[in-house]
Structures are given as structure tokens and as C-alpha cells.
A and B are shown apart, each in its own frame.
Chain A
Amino acid sequence: MSTRIFGSGIRRREDPRLITGQAKFSADIQLPETTFLVFVRSPHAHARILSVDCEAARAAPGVIRVLTGEDVQLSMPCAWLLPDSDLKTPEHPVLAKDRVRYVGDAVAAVIAETEGQAQDAAELVEVGYELLPAETNPESATTEGASELFDDVPKNVAFRWIAGSDEALVEQAFQDADVVVRERIVQQRLQPTAIEPRAAIAQWNSAAQEMTLWCTSQNPHIHRHVLGLVVGIPDHKLRVISTDVGGGFGSKIPVYADEALVCWASRELARPVKWVETRSENYLVTIHGRDHVEYVEMAATADGTAQAIRGRVYAAMGAYLSTAAPGIPTILHGLMYGGPYTIPLARCESIGVFTNTTPTDAYRGAGRPEATFLMERLMERLANQLGMDPSEIRRKNLIPPFQDGYSSAMGLTYDSGNYAENLDLALEKAAYGKMRASQQRARDEGKLVGIGVTTYNEICGLGPSQVAGAIGFQGGLWESAIVRISATCKVQVMIGTSPHGQGEETTFAQIVASEIGIPVDDIEIIHSDTDRTPMGWGTFGSRTTPVSGAALALATRKIKEKARLLAAHLLEAAADDIEYEDGKFFVKGAPEHHQTIQNLALMATLAWNLPDGMDPGMEASQFYDPPNFVFPFGTHIAQVEVDAETGEVTLQKYVAVDDCGPQINPLIVAGQVQGGVVQGIGQALWEGTVYDDSGQLLTGTLLDYAMPRADHFPYLELAHTETPSPHHPIGVKGVGETGTIASTVTVYNAVMDALRSLGIDQLEMPLSPARVWAAIEEARSGESA
């Protein structure tokens, strides 16, 4: 079995349990004596609570306890305290006491012997409400006369954050510009819709005073710390297990009130307490993504060179600050103004706004899809205004190739980029010239065919802990890995991140195997159980491979170095004379004098004959605090056709050329890109949260929230370039979110390109058939008038 498998598309090691139904998702956990918790949730978006009558519920069959805000005095913290932003952090109670602020806000909880009994009893809880007006739009919620969610948060402004170039310089650039393009963009709210709804089951062991919590978390150690604080359990006595999680996309990063209550209740009852979200509940209570209203503009010279970009973002926070929410439309968004372009000046003002809606937080791309969207819309407008080809205007503005550092206008240091070469590959792969020619022929026949081109970069691999502190993230962003090799040379790797579909049980084994020559099948990656793993910050922001993978690679190299020294000792050679290849350490020039890693592992464990000063065993722990973020990049190209009669958009062609540096497993990378692309196209064409004026969620089930389906897509064509990150031990960048970051605007621009001949300038997403049709009708009636 070859161990040269870095770069090989081997089958995943996580799959056997997943394809046979042997996985253990949180809802699968069944413990004796379990009780079931069901929430009573507000049906109103904004109301004062006048009374909560639990009498009938308490008397219902099987009911053990009914809890209200009087019984439970817990509240959930926000863990991203954005500095210099006048951030307001109003209390977020686990069970509402005086006021409810969104449909779904928990008012009471019923615990019973069976889930059915708990659901039946929950319907018997009677809550008296006094309705208040609701705000659902982040822009209008800040206006005079808007209904305020919190008495001490005037005009619902949660924060006001500004970053970038000097205001006067930016203003001057706009004054001096030959061309200014601008747009009001609505980044519609989205429902992440991981196919697994959230669940939590807590088991308190009163003899040991220890809690075990199984829950759907992307970052069990963060859950351990935050829940420990909220519920009052020392963090070394709380074990959080999230081994199999059915998708997250950011929605399982936050620490939720329901998870806290389940822990509290288990300790209170001294019995396991289980809560499993329904999909309808998930749509009300699990965080939503995006929800911006943006005013953006770009100044350029007459030849299409962008000079400055500025924008103001109204970003909905929802009814309460979720765990990471303030950082999403600010650090992860505004700092990417400028993108892969040489724009010398950039400035972003981001205003976080409370609205009577589900709290928002990170959702695949988390701020960067919105940044790429606005960049590419402005580039598109500029191209149209100047009569330039969209790919050419981008080429004109792309940063020239750099391998080790580029300072952006927003103060970031991009690590490496080869944007033009990547663009060339994409244009070649798409046969762009032919695409435009066939588009013209189609147009001559009266068809509405459009092409979109996106060049992007993005910031991920979160990140340097010092930066985390500076930007208000209440945690570090380093990782560590423990690599433990047994006497028989079996490897256990313990990591602090929590893959949930991204494939690190395989790719991390590939890293170890490629570093030290042990077969992949002998390597086990252990994650997502806080008792079995070192502290770490979780899987989000495309950080698992850049950060955790780096720690792992370095730990493995430490072991390799130890092995080399032990080999030298056993072979009675000088350490400098020892060479390594494919699991063997041999004397230079005399390969028959060698030690296998297997034998070295055994010798290290037995410790019968170690060099002076060497510890027994073959185990290494390595921390890695990244010196910088990583910046993957790429080019996407899409072609669509719009049916003018119905407004339906058909995706005809999609090409994605991405660069995440070296690819550990191309099959897994392709899966990430394809999944991300489809998810981003979902935003462009089908998805979108709809609230009515009273704050009722109208897209509350899968009957109304339109998800991408298999028959919506042609074959997605993928290619890649490979530009290593200079500061990463194996040069890899993240790739989990790039697909989503690029695809929304690519398809959007393609549709707008198709509709341009009708004089349609802008449309809100999703570009549903009804919406596109209405725009075409309006444009045509304008024509014939």
C-alpha cells in the first residue's frame, strides 16, 4: 500500500459508518431514563409577556416539569465583542421573561417522559401577550419612529463599525473620478438548512458532578466553555461530544439557549434530558444568514481602472446577538472590500441592527459572499458603462502575481495570488470566446442568454490569535494536534477542530502518511469529543486544514525528527547521515542499513536503548497559531438562459477554477467546491427568507423555502491552479467556502447580462421566475408605451 498519497483522491475513511447507517448523530443517542424537552415558543414577533399559565401543562400525562423564565435565570453571551463600535450587548435570556422579540423566542419548556407527551403538554401552556409593532428590515429599523427592541438600544443600532482608508481621501477619489458606479444591494436573508436539524442530549452524573452533552456543534470545545460559564459547570467537568454532525454551514457554530437549558435541566432532574429540533423549529430558531441592505459605490478612471470603493452596510442581527454575529458583516466582510483588485482606497461602514427576526450569524462564506457580490456587481456595472468585456475589466484591475504578501487597502496582507493566470485558465476551460459568440447568435434569435464572470479572493483559515483579540473575538484561533504512535505503529491523532463532512478523517491521515510513511489505514483522526481531544476552536471559516492541519503536520515532523535521531542512534551513524524515504530512515549511501518507522515506534516505546536525553514513546503535541489568514482565490464563469415567457432561469454551463494551494485530496476538494457552488446558486435563484410585516416567517417549511435540487444543475466543470500559501507548513489554503463565495454573483451577473438588452438594470434576489417575469413585463410595457 503506497503511502505517497498527498494529492491522491482516495476514498474517505469516514464513509463506512455513514453509508451503512452506523453513524451516531446527536438525535441517535439513546440513554436509559431519558426525559424529553419541548419548547413553548412565541407566535408573535414582538410582544410583552403578560402571563404564563402552566397549570394544565403540568397536569398533563407524563409531564415531569414545566419551566419558565421565572425558574431559569440563564442568559447567552455574545462572544465577538467588536471593539470601537459602540457595541450594545443586551441580555439574551434562555427563557424570555418580560418580552419576546421574535417568532420562536422561547417562553417555556416542558419536560416529559416521551417526546409526544411533551409536545402535547406544550400546547396546553397558555401565554398572555400584549403585541408590539415589529421591525423586520435592518435599514428601516434604524429610522425615526421604528419600534425599538431594547429600551437601552436607541434605534436598534447594535454597533457601528468603520474600517479602511481615510474618509477625506476616499471622498476626494470619488470627486476626481471619471466614472462612478453605484448600487443598492439587498443580500437577502437565508436559512442554512443543514439536513440534520439541531439536537442536544445532556446527561448529568451527580456522583461525579459531571455533565456529558451530545449536541450538534461545529466546535464542541467552544460549547464546553460557553455552556460551562452559562450553566455553572467547571469546564473540565463538562464533556461535549459532536462526533457525527449532519452539516453545519455555520449554523452549528453558535452556542444556543436550548443547549444551555438541556444541560441545566439534566442537572436539575438528575436524568438525561433530550431535545430534538423539528425542521419548522429549526427555521425559526437556528440562526439565519446574510440579511444586509448595502449602499456601495466605486470610483474609476475612464479606462476602467478602479480607484476607490466605499460602502455602508445595514446588517440585521436579528432579535439578539448570536455568538459570533457582530464579526460577520464587519471583519469578515468589510475587510475584503477591494478583493483581488489593486484598488488603492477602500472604506466600509457597517451598522448592526436588531430586528424582530431570528438571530443571524455565520453562514457559509460569512461576510465574504457579500463582499465578492458587491465587488463583482460594481465591476460589472463599470464594464457595462465603459463598453468593456467583463473579463477584461477584471483583468485590468487584478493584482499582479505575488507569492509572499500583498497589502490591501483595507490593511490585510494577502498571502499569495496568481489571479491573471487563474483567469486565463478559466477563460480557456470555458472556451469563453466561443461562449460569447454563441451568446450573440442566441441573441440574434431573440433568446435571453447571459454570461457572468467572477474573479475573487477570500479570507479564511481563521486565524492569528493576536488578531482575534484585537478584533474582539472572545477566544483564540490557534489549534493544536497530538500525534501518538503506538508500539505497533498505529497512529492516533487528536485535533481540536470538528469536521462534519469536510473529510479530515481522511485528509489528515493523508498528511501524516505523506510525512512519515505510515499507511493511511493505520492512522485514526480523533475529533469532536472534548474529553479525547486537546482544546481547539472548531471547524468553521475554512480553517480546519489551514490551522489544524498545520499543527498536525508540524507535530508529525517533530516525531519524524525524533525518529531520525533514534534511527541514527540504533544504526550507530551520525544524525546528519540519516536520510528518509517512504517510512524508512537509512544511512546515506547504504540503504540496506535502515530502520522502518514501525520498528522505531516499537523501540521508542520499549525504551531499551534510547540516546541520552531522549524521552520514551513516539508522541508529539504541537500548537499552531497562524501568522496570517490564508487567501484562496479563483475564477467562476456561468451561462444562463432566461425563458422570457415564464421568467425561469436555466443554468446551462458553470465553470469553476479555484486555487487553494496544494490539494491533499482532489476528490474531497471537488466535493467542497461543487457543494459550495450549488449552495451559492441557491441564493441567486431560489432561496430567501420572507417575513411579513408583522414578523411572521412565511418561509417556515421546505414547502416554502426553495432548496437547490439535483435536477436544477448541469455538470459543473472544475479545474484548479495551485499557488501555495507562503506561511503554511504545507502551503494549503481553505476551500470549504470558496464555491459559495463566488457562485452567487456569477449566476446573478449572468442573469443580469441576459436581461440587459431589455433595459433591466437591477433585480433583488432570489431571481425567482415570478420576479424575473415581472421585471421583463415592466421593461416591455415601458418599451411599448
Chain B
Amino acid sequence: MRPPHFEYQRPQSVEEALRVLAEQPAYKPLAGGHSLIPAMNLRLAQPEGLLDLGRLDDLRGIRFDQNQLRIGALTTHEEVAASPHVRKHCPALSDAASVIGDPQVRAWGTLGGNLAHADPASDPPPVIVACEGTIQLTNQSGSREVAAEDFFIDIFTTATGEGELLTEIIVPSQANRKSAYLKLPHPASRYPVVGVCVVLDWDGVSCSRARVAIGGATGKATRCHQAEGVLTGSDLGEETMRDAERVISAELGDDLLADHYASAEYRRAMAGVFLKRSVKAALG
């Protein structure tokens, strides 16, 4: 269908955008539009107004500063995937940005837009969560940073407050660690049925610290602390991985998503399979 009517404004600066957002709380920010516009085409989303951030180049770009990746919200997935900074300091994010959507979506969809949308079946959120990234939210009064794990609250629900824009994604460097993101795609939408990110402190013999997050399986990207407990301090060998598979499946409890394509039991089992595969990919 054609989208329903809405008002439209295109601010020339971030300040202007924040002002409009404060004055018109019912307006939805429009980044690449690759989550919002499809929803509007089905008339599932009917925002009163759109605030087009598309020309705010201040919100685009990738910097590496003080051992942190700083990614502007309007950076496209293609830019993230192609960035040498990201490949070095957060290869799992490179992985996720390379497999999200399709080439056209990657060329225009933005990382900030994706995270703000908080679709439970999405690739970047579990990576940001596993890497203990933070989300910068800005309003007219200033900026605050929210830990990724606290940013994602539930299906399509984030910690973004009224009048706030997601302006930057900050990820501490993972350059000294082994990390990867792997997904099992839904055959139609290609969204992750499960997508697992692992970040490992690995010296070649033992894993001193493991972080694991999963997307696509539950209402939001979720850290798997018990699975992490199994991997931490281990040799990441076959027996450890078998335990970890078991533990992550149990850890996911009753929150698992289920639909006509993939049952909760399937997701539960795939969480374990992809944990194992993601560790293998991370170790190279």
C-alpha cells in the first residue's frame, strides 16, 4: 500500500533536529528508512510526522579514539562492513554488517536506525551487547550513554526517551580478542532465526573471559551469562563446547520466540549449535 499521510521535516542540523523532536514528540526520526518505511508501506506504522535526519553528516562516520570505535548513527551497514577500523577493532560487527539484509539494504540502512528499531530478529544488536558497547542518546539538554544491554528492553522497545535521538554507537576495541558473529537466516526474510556473537579473551590455550550474546531467539538481544561461565577459564575444547551448548539452551528458558517456521525448541537447539560455530569462527 501507499503509506498513510504524515507531516515531514528535514532539519539542517542536529540542533534543529533535537528542537523539532522536543516540540513534536510524536514525530519519528527517519534515518535510512529501511525498517520504518517497509512498516509504513504495510500501514503497520502510522507516524504523525517524520523527522528526516538523512543529511545530517555530523551523525555519519567512523572514528577510532581512545581505544573506542565511535560510529555515527547514520553510518550505513555497508560503511561499517567496509571500515578497516571496524574490521580491526570489532570484527564481529563487520560480520554482522556484511550479512544484514541484502546489498541494497546495506547501502542505505543505518546502524543507528537498526538499533533504534530494536527488531528482536536483527544482526547488529547482539554484537553491540556482547562487545559491551554503549549507545549515545542526545536531547536538547545534552547526551547520555546507555549500556547496550540496558538499551534493548523488549521487542521494538528501547531506552530512548522522549525528545532523544540515538546519535552514536561506542564500542570498546576488541582488537586483542577473538570474536565473530554467525547467524541462521530465516529462508524468507533472512532475518536471524538465531544470531550468536562471541567475544573471547584467548591466549591460544585458554579462554580467560568469554562474552556471548544472542539475537533472534528472544524478545531482545540477550547476554548469555551462564554459557559465558562455561567458556570462561576453559580450553574451549570439545567437551567444553558440548557443555556450553547444553547450558545456553537451558539458559534461554521460556522466553524463546516461536513462529510457524521455527519452534522454540528449534531456536533453543540452534542457540547451542551457533554458539559452537561462532566460537570456532572466532578462533579462526
Per the bound structure, the CA–CA distance linking A278 and B273 in Å amounts to 38
Q: Which of B51-59, B145-153, B259-267 contacts A (4 or more CB under 8 A)?
A: B259-267
Q: Of A123, A280, A645, A704, which one neighbours B189 at CB under 8 angstroms? A: A704
* Chain A contacts with B in 645-685, Cβ cutoff 8 A: 645-646
- Say yes or no: A690 contacts B188, CB within 8 Å: no
A residues in contact with B43, CB < 8 Å: 123
- Say yes or no: A115 contacts B42, CB within 8 Å: no
* Chain A contacts with B in 33-51, Cβ cutoff 8 A: none
- Say yes or no: B188 contacts A702, CB within 8 Å: yes
Per the bound structure, the CA–CA distance linking A774 and B261 in Å amounts to 12
A residues in contact with B5, CB < 8 Å: 120
- Say yes or no: A774 contacts B266, CB within 8 Å: yes
A residues in contact with B262, CB < 8 Å: 770
B41 closest partner in A (C-beta): A278
A residues in contact with B2, CB < 8 Å: 115-116, 119
Q: Does B21 contact A (CB under 8 A)?
A: no
- Say yes or no: B188 contacts A774, CB within 8 Å: no
B1 closest partner in A (C-beta): A119
Q: B124-141 interface mask toward A, CB cutoff 8 Å, 1 = contact, 0 = none?
A: 000000000000000000
Per the bound structure, the CA–CA distance linking A770 and B187 in Å amounts to 11
Per the bound structure, the CA–CA distance linking A429 and B177 in Å amounts to 49
Per the bound structure, the CA–CA distance linking A705 and B190 in Å amounts to 11
> Within the complex, what minimum Cβ distance (angstroms) separates B261 from chain A?
6
* Contacts known (A278-B1, A704-B261); A770 close to B188, Cβ less than 8 A: no
- Say yes or no: A777 contacts B184, CB within 8 Å: no
- Say yes or no: A768 contacts B269, CB within 8 Å: no
Per the bound structure, the CA–CA distance linking A517 and B17 in Å amounts to 71
A residues in contact with B263, CB < 8 Å: 770, 774
A690 closest partner in B (C-beta): B260
- Say yes or no: A769 contacts B184, CB within 8 Å: yes
> Within the complex, what minimum Cβ distance (angstroms) separates B86 from chain A?
24
* Chain B contacts with A in 97-139, Cβ cutoff 8 A: none
Q: Of A686, A698, A701, which one neighbours B187 at CB under 8 angstroms? A: A686
Q: Does A773 contact B (CB under 8 A)?
A: yes
- Say yes or no: A698 contacts B260, CB within 8 Å: yes
B residues in contact with A698, CB < 8 Å: 260
Q: Does A703 contact B (CB under 8 A)?
A: yes
* Contacts known (A774-B266, A777-B269); A120 close to B187, Cβ less than 8 A: no
Q: Does A706 contact B (CB under 8 A)?
A: yes
Q: Does B210 contact A (CB under 8 A)?
A: no
* Contacts known (A116-B2, A768-B261); A773 close to B188, Cβ less than 8 A: no
Per the bound structure, the CA–CA distance linking A749 and B171 in Å amounts to 49
- Say yes or no: A645 contacts B1, CB within 8 Å: no
Q: Of A115, A646, A707, A768, which one neighbours B273 at CB under 8 angstroms? A: A646
A115 closest partner in B (C-beta): B2
> Within the complex, what minimum Cβ distance (angstroms) separates A372 from chain B?
24
Per the bound structure, the CA–CA distance linking A773 and B186 in Å amounts to 14
- Say yes or no: A703 contacts B261, CB within 8 Å: no
B residues in contact with A115, CB < 8 Å: 2
- Say yes or no: B187 contacts A768, CB within 8 Å: yes
- Say yes or no: B188 contacts A707, CB within 8 Å: yes
Per the bound structure, the CA–CA distance linking A525 and B265 in Å amounts to 57
Per the bound structure, the CA–CA distance linking A702 and B191 in Å amounts to 12
Q: Of B4, B188, B265, which one neighbours A706 at CB under 8 angstroms? A: B188
B residues in contact with A686, CB < 8 Å: 187-188
A residues in contact with B1, CB < 8 Å: 119, 278, 280
Per the bound structure, the CA–CA distance linking A705 and B261 in Å amounts to 10
Per the bound structure, the CA–CA distance linking A690 and B262 in Å amounts to 13
Q: Of A690, A703, A704, A773, which one neighbours B266 at CB under 8 angstroms? A: A773
Per the bound structure, the CA–CA distance linking A750 and B161 in Å amounts to 54
B residues in contact with A278, CB < 8 Å: 1
A residues in contact with B169, CB < 8 Å: none
> Within the complex, what minimum Cβ distance (angstroms) separates B275 from chain A?
12
B residues in contact with A768, CB < 8 Å: 187, 261
B residues in contact with A645, CB < 8 Å: 273
Most chain A Cβ neighbours within 10 Å, of B1, B4, B193:
B1
Q: Does B270 contact A (CB under 8 A)?
A: yes
Per the bound structure, the CA–CA distance linking A686 and B261 in Å amounts to 10
B38 closest partner in A (C-beta): A703
Per the bound structure, the CA–CA distance linking A280 and B41 in Å amounts to 11
A residues in contact with B265, CB < 8 Å: 774
A residues in contact with B191, CB < 8 Å: 703
Per the bound structure, the CA–CA distance linking A120 and B1 in Å amounts to 10
> Within the complex, what minimum Cβ distance (angstroms) separates B264 from chain A?
11
A residues in contact with B270, CB < 8 Å: 646
- Kindly list 18 other residue pairs between chains A and B, CB separation below 8 angstroms, not including A280-B1, A774-B266: A115-B2, A119-B2, A123-B43, A280-B42, A645-B273, A686-B187, A692-B260, A699-B188, A699-B260, A701-B42, A702-B188, A704-B188, A704-B260, A706-B187, A706-B188, A770-B261, A774-B263, A774-B265
- Give the 4 A-B CB pairs with smallest separation, nearest first: A706-B187, A706-B188, A703-B189, A116-B2
What are 16 pairs between A and B in contact, CB < 8 Å?
Answer: A115-B2, A116-B2, A119-B2, A280-B42, A646-B270, A692-B260, A698-B260, A702-B189, A704-B261, A705-B188, A706-B186, A706-B188, A769-B184, A769-B187, A770-B266, A774-B265
